[in-house]
Structure 1
């Protein structure tokens, strides 16, 4: 068993090293090719001109080449200046996803060894996936306890960001302060990882409940991932020319997806190589680097007009309820556009909800259903993330750009893909079928892009940032009903039909199709009325 596990680990590491080596060598060869072409051009020019005795022209051409090289260096410097929030995203999204599997394993270990106080041999066998040394009922008990903790964990995850995002979003708009929205979640994750290291050190003294509390409170009270993304998008919008908004936001969307996919793919390998302490320490270092980068490297957009608030007055303005509600007064207008905005906010819950719910129980499900270990799961989830990234790009390119389908039709296609994928996942009795089901569901996620596209046609430009913060609230709210519900369903059906949560996701996605059909009928009313 140990030899097989080591071989799998070696295979995954070899693939990662091959990909990184291939990309670096490709970049190196391209640079060398460009350099050779430049040197070759200079050499040919010199030979030709010396042969004809035209030394003055040679000097002139050499000056032109030097000028072009200078312009090339300027272009590289300009490209470097365009890189603003990308290093911050890398230092946050990568450890955020890379540590998810380790956190779940720590909860399972706490449940087995501390709360249930099962024997060392049984817990070691469950950890090593040695099925001959423990009964399936042992893992059922362990997973039920973790699922119970996940129920109230997701409630806390939902409530705090849902309250914080409107206040901090409106506050950042009033004071043109975007960096706080990005630094706050980083501080929360740093505190969380220090707490995890303490939970690991005092393993038998601190039960699962303390572990869950440390996992949820610092992240929830600082806004988490949603707060950071709201800060990133508002910051980029503030410092980027209007005509470049689309390409910059598109690049960020893709970059976030890539970092998440890499983090998911590496999660099992990193945990196997360096364990709890290693993962939490590495995550803490990356978060710290991201915090320093945001604080020292990112500059706020220049303010115009009124004098900015400072010190205690700036902090007090965060809880300025009248100003916060006044920020969203555009939603009080009774119009078909406002109705569609509320419809799209409901869609954000219907579309994101099943995805968040499945994420809460997927690792435990694959452990129980297919007897996967950390390597198996990280390989699958890396594949899952890349498949969805490619599927979303392909769907947008094909249906939106080429076939010119309406955004609502794109949402219907995405939701249909989710339903068909859910049916396939439910019926999957082998790992191969589980992988194939991912391809069937790969268009899912395009629906949220379609919703954002529709909403840009429903509000004036000055209200786009406010609607983005409402999207962040809607995403946070999804965990409130869906996370506890999926955990409760999995806990109740693990012994009879553990894939029942996929059936729930199918039925919960049907209303999204109905809502997109309604939006399609209102497609000619998507231009905002002037105030």
Structure 2
């Protein structure tokens, strides 16, 4: 079938992205609801109004229920971060050796089983919300959504050429954005039009469709005979020492110090992203927003982020030729300003949330610019290892920052639940200070990178994009042997 050459991983990508956003939004609502009546013994009829009705009763109940829910969420954060981190670091190397398709199928089967287990637990109306942590086990042991995205991106690099990669990655971006938008906009209406059981049956079914489609219609992109991966084979390709040595080795022109400073900026910037783990709780408790209002705002914000990232990168970077560090600083300042505005918002001033969403549309630019700078400093052969370390930093950071911000939110819920936004702005500001210092230092460009920069544009293409905090950097074979490196930070519903 001719269409099978051009429409491959985009189908499971769209289905899974839609399911992810649907699941994040609905799961938060369901776990708060279950915590309210099954764990804390509040009246079930009143608990059912949470996230659905705006009144004094629900506003008061949110503040009583959220601290307990947040403890459950903190345990969930640790569970969903540690095990997938191993897959995130090494699945690219593993799939190079054993093929992309087995790891895609493994992740999809895990996601299907996880949602199937959740559906079964939902059937027991008085089941404790702690029981839902059991449902995560299948996806934890198979890498989950993050692993799936890494393998899909690597697959696209395999099946595209330097001439077609721009289009394929653009389609990737559109599909991610479309899935995010649809999942956000549909979630509340689907939930209130049906029930939790029906929503999870739909999510499980769509993951099942994605698995079947991948098995029958997506061909393997790694050619040649491949052995069935065994645990001892997988462990053979884990080498953290090599990654560390490559990062900290001496480099000419103070390049090592510059590279470590850039990684430090990444550390502070990603640590500030922990605010997203409690953003929905803040909107529900302090502003008394309903799930519908939250998801519609999230949908519009997602579209704004895509426009801001693409437009900012094209017009400010490509046309106006503004430097990478200056654009990264501009992006960080816009994120900090947006955080401060959100922290100042109240029920009477909830329009601050909309203003903040507009101001923060350029947030995605900083990730692109920082990754571009790294590609200047190191040789093409080293990029993969440096990005592997960056992936480690980002994923460990997101786990720790989520825990920190959830603890801050719990501690300040009854006083000023928006304080975590000011903490985020401060941490992000430290990243901005780091960039200001680097602006006074010349970028130590690696000789091989300098040679590549002199090539005509049609011989060297670089595509960078950020969709709803799922960052992707693609460097074509002219530069780095079809390397794809990703950093993910999922936004809790």
**Fold match by TM threshold 0.5:** yes
Decide whether the 8 Å contact of 1:421 with 1:437 is kept in 2. yes
Kept in 2: contact 1:108–1:146 (CA 8 A): yes
Three-state SS of the structure 2 residue aligned to 1:99 is helix
Matched, 1:207 2:128: yes
Q: CA–CA distance in 1 between the matches of 2:238 and 2:111?
A: 31
Q: Is the 8 A contact 2:105 2:214 kept in 1?
A: yes
C-alpha displacement of 1:372: 1.6
Q: For 2:138, which of 201, 218, 234 is the aligned residue?
A: 218
Equivalent residue runs for 1:11-50 within 5 Å: none
User: Structure 1 residue 146: deviation in Å?
Assistant: 0.8
- The residue aligned with 1:358 is 275
Match of 1:182?
104
Partner of 2:477: none
1:84 lines up with 2:84 in the alignment: no
- Of residues 177, 183, 191, the one that matches 1:263 is 183
SS in 1 for 2:76: helix
1:455 alignment counterpart: 374
* Structure 1 equivalent of residue 249 of structure 2: 333
1:441 is paired with a residue of what secondary structure?
Answer: helix
How far is the alpha carbon of 1:136 from its aligned partner?
4.6
How far is 1:471 from its partner?
4.2
Q: Report the alpha carbon displacement of residue 127 of structure 1 after superposing the two structures with TM.
A: 5.3
Once the two structures are superposed, the pairs formed by residues 161-310 of structure 1 within 5 Å of their partners are 161-173=84-96, 175=97, 177-204=99-126, 206-214=127-135, 216-303=136-223, 308=226, 310=227
Gaps of 5+ in 2: 450-493
Aligned to 1:367: 284
CA deviation profile, 1:79-113 (whole Å, cap 9, x unmatched): 76233321121011111012211100111111111
**1:483 counterpart residue number:** 402
Question: Aligned ranges for residues 21-170 of structure 1 at < 5 Å?
Answer: 81-126=5-50, 128-129=52-53, 131=55, 134=57, 136-170=59-93
- Once the two structures are TM-superposed, the CA of residue 172 in structure 1 deviates from its matched residue by 2.2
How many Å separate the matches in 1 of 2:238 and 2:193? 52
Task: After TM superposition, give the deviation of residue 457 of structure 1 in Å.
Answer: 2.8
Say which is worse superposed, 504-513 or 264-273, in terms of deviation.
264-273
Change (3 A) 1:332 1:354: closer
Q: Aligned pair in 2 of structure 1 residues 343, 303: CA closer, same or farther (>3 Å)? A: farther
Per-residue CA distance 1:119-142 (angstroms, 9 max, x = gap): 23432344542635x375432121
Distance change (3 Å), C-alpha of 1:254 and 1:412: farther
Alignment correspondent of 1:40:
none
Deviation at 1:394, TM superposition (A): 1.9
Q: Is the 8 A contact 1:158 1:478 kept in 2?
A: no
Is contact 1:230–1:472 with CA below 8 Å preserved after alignment? Answer: no
Measured in 2, the distance between the counterparts of 1:472 and 1:159 equals: 13
Show the counterpart of 1:498. 417
Q: CA 1:207/1:189 → structure 2, altered by over 3 Å: closer, same or farther?
A: same
What is the CA–CA distance in structure 2 between the aligned matches of 1:255 and 1:454, rounded to whole Å? 27
Cα distance in 2 for partners of 1:114, 1:265 equals 28
Unaligned residue ranges in structure 1 (runs of 5+)? 1-76
Provide the rounded CA distance (Å) in 1 between the counterparts of 2:58 and 2:443: 60
Query: Could you tell me how far 1:333 is from its partner in structure 2?
Result: 3.3
Which structure has more helix as a fraction of its residues? 1
Structure 1 residues 458 and 249 mapped into 2: Cα distance closer, same or farther (>3 Å)? farther
Q: For residues 474 and 239 of structure 1, do their structure 2 counterparts lie closer, same or farther at Cα, with a shift above 3 Å needed?
A: farther
- Paired with 1:506 and 1:466, the residues of 2 have a C-alpha distance of 30
Summarize the Cα distance change of 1:80–1:295 in structure 2 as closer, same or farther, 3 Å threshold: closer
From the CA coordinates, give the structure whose radius of gyration is larger.
Answer: 1
